[in-house]
Amino acid sequence: MKVKVKVWRQKNASDKGGFKEYEVLTDPDSSFLEMIDVLNQDLLNKKEDPVAFDHDCREGICGACSMYINGQPHGPSKGTTTCQLHMRSFKDGDSITIEPWRAAAFPVIKDLVVDRTAFDRIIQAGGYISVNTGVTVDANAVPIEKEKADEAFKAAACIGCGACVAACKNASAMLFVSAKVSHLALLPQGAPEADIRAAKMLGQMDKEGFGSCTNTQACEAMCPKEISITHIARLNRQFFKSGFTASDQS
């Protein structure tokens, strides 16, 4: 099958950038990234610069791949990362527009590669449980309700790809932040820091220049791991509790 791809090309952060169109011969069993591989091989054969894009595990878990395909982060398949999207989701002759994630907090590095270190800094602001290596409490000392553990796991399944930011009309990182806050707040180990964690992580999110949540739910719909916005509600509760009741706002 043959597809027309319109790809955002931008040499570096300061370059203005623009779209370029290519034709790619691919087959339905190829993954989307393998289609880009073919395009890049074509470009190399012509001694041109290949399209830069982030990718690593290619099995939907590392969160590196990040393309905005025809108006949707990670393309048209629900609950699927770009690397697991297959060309059979498209038809012969289709036109496909590929853009980088667009957000002030995710500046473009080159072509489709953006800088997502803002997410790292949000985690560094408090997305952890303060425990040093070498604790002596037995793992089974504190039983945890299965339902809560499962819910925590569902939140923790976030791969940090940034599709929520890309999908959100406000480029808000609330789904990402809430997934981590929720994961840790649901577990007894994370409870002591739950309030302060929510405040610090949200503060960092605001500082990085992400927008605010207006509950459009686009993030949930586009999340490749289908993380629910119930976590955003939990983050809100946690944040209010911290803001209005905690004695110390450090």
Partner 1 sequence: MSWISSVLGSSIGKKLLMALSGLFICFFLVIHLTGNLQLLAGDGGQSFNEYAKLMTSNPLIKFVSIGTYLVFLLHIIDGLMLVFANKKARPVKYAVGAKKGSSISSRNMGILGSIILVFLVIHLYNFWFAYKFGSVPTVDYGHGPVKNLYAVVALAFANPLYVILYVLSMVAIGFHLLHGFASAFQTLGLNHAKYNGIIRFAGIAYSILIPLGFAIIPIYFYLVLA
Partner 2 sequence: MQLDSKIPEGDLADKWTKYKSKVKLVSPANKRRIEVIVIGSGLAGASAAASMAEMGYKVKCFCFQDSPRRAHSIAAQGGINAAKNYQNDGDSVFRLFYDTIKGGDFRSREANVHRLAEVSASIIDQCVAQGVPFAREYGGLLANRSFGGVQVSRTFYASGQTGQQLLLGAYSALSRQIAKGQVEMFNRHEMLDVVMIDGKARGIISRELITGKIDRHFGHAVVLASGGYGNVFFLSTNAMGSNVTAAWKAHKRGALMANPCFTQIHPTCIPVAGEHQSKLTLMSESLRNDGRVWVPKKKEDCNKDPRQIKEEDRDYYLERIYPAFGNLVPRDVASRAAKYMVDEGRGVGKTGVAVYLDFSDAIKRLGKHVIEERYSNLFEMYQRITDENPYEQPMRIYPAVHYTMGGLWVDYELSTNIPGLYAIGEANFSDHGANRLGASALMQGLADGYFVLPYTIGNYLSNDIRVDAIPTSHPAFDKAEQAVKERINKLMSIQGDLSVDHFHKKLGKIMWDKCGMSRHGDGLRQAQKEIAELREEFWSNVFVPGSDSEFNPELEKAGRVADFLELGELMVLDALTREESCGGHFREEYRTPEGEADRRDDLFTFVSAWKHTAVGQEAELVKEELEFNNVELKVRSYK
CB 241, min distance to partner 2, A: 19
Residues in 26-85 at the binding interface with partner 1, rule: CB under 8 A: 68, 70-72
d(CA 150, CA 156): 10
Q: State which of residues 205, 224, 225, 227 lies at the interface with partner 1 (CB under 8 A).
A: 205
CB 34, min distance to partner 1, A: 22
205 makes contact, choosing from partner 1, partner 2, none, with CB < 5 to 8 Å by partner type, with partner 1
d(CA 6, CA 4): 7
Q: Which is it for strands 108-110 and 18-25: parallel, antiparallel or unpaired?
A: unpaired
Among 210, 207, 208, 212, which Cα is nearest to 235's?
212
34 makes contact, choosing from partner 1, partner 2, none, with CB < 5 to 8 Å by partner type, with partner 2
Q: State which of residues 19, 20, 23, 59 lies at the interface with partner 2 (CB under 8 A).
A: 59
CB 45, min distance to partner 1, A: 28
Q: Is 216 in the site for partner 1 (CB under 8 A)?
A: yes
CB 41, min distance to partner 1, A: 26
Q: Smaller CB distance to partner 2: residue 116 or 234?
A: 116
Q: Is 249 in the site for partner 1 (CB under 8 A)?
A: yes
Residues in 30-49 at the binding interface with partner 2, rule: CB under 8 A: 30-31, 33-35, 37-38, 41, 44-45, 47-49
d(CA 95, CA 74): 16
CB count, 10 Å around CB of 130? 9
Q: Is 230 in the site for partner 2 (CB under 8 A)?
A: no
d(CA 51, CA 46): 13
CB count, 10 Å around CB of 233? 13
Candidate segments 50-58, 166-174, 209-217, 232-240, binder of partner 2 by CB under 8 A: 50-58
d(CA 51, CA 73): 18
Written as six digits, the tokens of 100 are 């980088």
Q: Report yes or no: 201 and 158 within 8 Å, Cβ to Cβ.
A: no
Written as six digits, the tokens of 224 are 């490749």
Q: Report yes or no: 125 and 203 within 8 Å, Cβ to Cβ.
A: yes
90 makes contact, choosing from partner 1, partner 2, none, with CB < 5 to 8 Å by partner type, with none
Q: Is 190 in the site for partner 2 (CB under 8 A)?
A: yes
Q: Which is it for strands 18-25 and 2-9: parallel, antiparallel or unpaired?
A: antiparallel
Residues near partner 1 (CB under 8 A): 19, 68, 70-72, 97, 99, 102-105, 167, 169-172, 174, 202-203, 205-206, 209-218, 220-222, 229-230, 232-237, 239-240, 243-244, 249
